[in-house]
């Protein structure tokens, strides 16, 4: 009976937000210029805390990707996974992932970030993935998500759809914001910002960050 290790991605495995970074990497410049003004109220409301990240991300994705050739964005995702992500991954995260793999554990990245770049990165690492997936129709992206934004309680729902937790001796979970609370509460061993906690009150004492960018 092996263990299950659930890792948030942005801020936990990485030192920074990859969702916004990928938009700048992959979205064509003329689209950024064209939609900068219409999107500005969303950006302002998000920065003021008037709307949550899980509400802002689908809007931004729709603007950035609707109608784009899917193969082109997936190619950009593979480049981003190979060229950008290695530079922002935490050394301790890689070491912990490798430790779990050495124990024979099932390792899963659970993230609100996008499949187009997380999928090739996870494949290169030999880990499994549960994340936000861009919808495709007739070779083009619709700008919508296949199963909604994979954040907060949605992370737990997606995990439970794919994994029977009773099959694992120990469930580990690693996160860094309030958005990861529901996932951490599934686990026998919980790590918040790389410190092991017994319950969420300890995360509060460490200074909880509410959901920001992708997680």
Going along the chain from its start, the domains and CATH numbers come out as: 4-206 (3.40.50.1000)
pLDDT tens digit sequence for 15-62: 999 998 998 898 876 555 555 555 666 565 656 565 677 777 888 888
Return the minimum-mean-pLDDT range out of 1-15, 17-31, 84-98. Answer: 17-31
Dist CA 188 CA 201 (whole Å)? 16
Q: Is the pLDDT of residue 141 over 70?
A: yes
Phi/psi of residue 131, nearest 5 degrees: -160, 180
- CA-nearest of 6, 43, 81 to 212 is 43
pLDDT the model gives residue 57: 83
As separate numbers, helices (DSSP H) first and strands (DSSP E) second, the chain gives 9, 8
**pLDDT of res. 213:** 46
pTM score of the predicted model: 0.90
Mean pLDDT of 121-138: 97
CB 197 within 8 A of CB 174: no
């Amino acid at each position: 009976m092996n263990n299950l290790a659930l890792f948030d991605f942005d801020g936990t495995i990485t030192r920074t937000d990859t969702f916004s970074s990928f938009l700048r990497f992959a979205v064509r410049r003329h689209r950024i210029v064209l939609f900068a003004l219409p999107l500005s109220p969303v950006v302002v409301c998000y920065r003021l805390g008037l709307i949550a990240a899980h509400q802002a991300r689908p809007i931004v994705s729709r603007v950035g990707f609707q109608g784009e050739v899917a193969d082109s964005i997936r190619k950009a995702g593979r480049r981003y996974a190979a060229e950008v992500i290695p530079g922002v991954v935490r050394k301790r995260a890689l070491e912990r992932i490798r430790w779990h793999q050495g124990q024979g554990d099932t390792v899963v990245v659970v993230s609100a970030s996008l499949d187009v770049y997380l999928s090739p990165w996870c494949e290169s690492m030999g880990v499994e993935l549960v994340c936000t997936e861009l919808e495709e129709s007739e070779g083009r992206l619709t700008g919508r998500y296949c199963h909604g934004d994979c954040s907060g309680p949605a992370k737990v729902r997606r995990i439970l759809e794919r994994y029977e937790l009773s099959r694992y001796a120990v469930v580990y979970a690693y996160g860094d914001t309030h958005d990861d609370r529901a996932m951490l509460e599934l686990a026998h061993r919980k790590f918040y910002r790389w410190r092991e906690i017994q319950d969420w009150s300890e995360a509060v004492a460490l200074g909880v960050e509410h959901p920001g960018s992708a997680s």
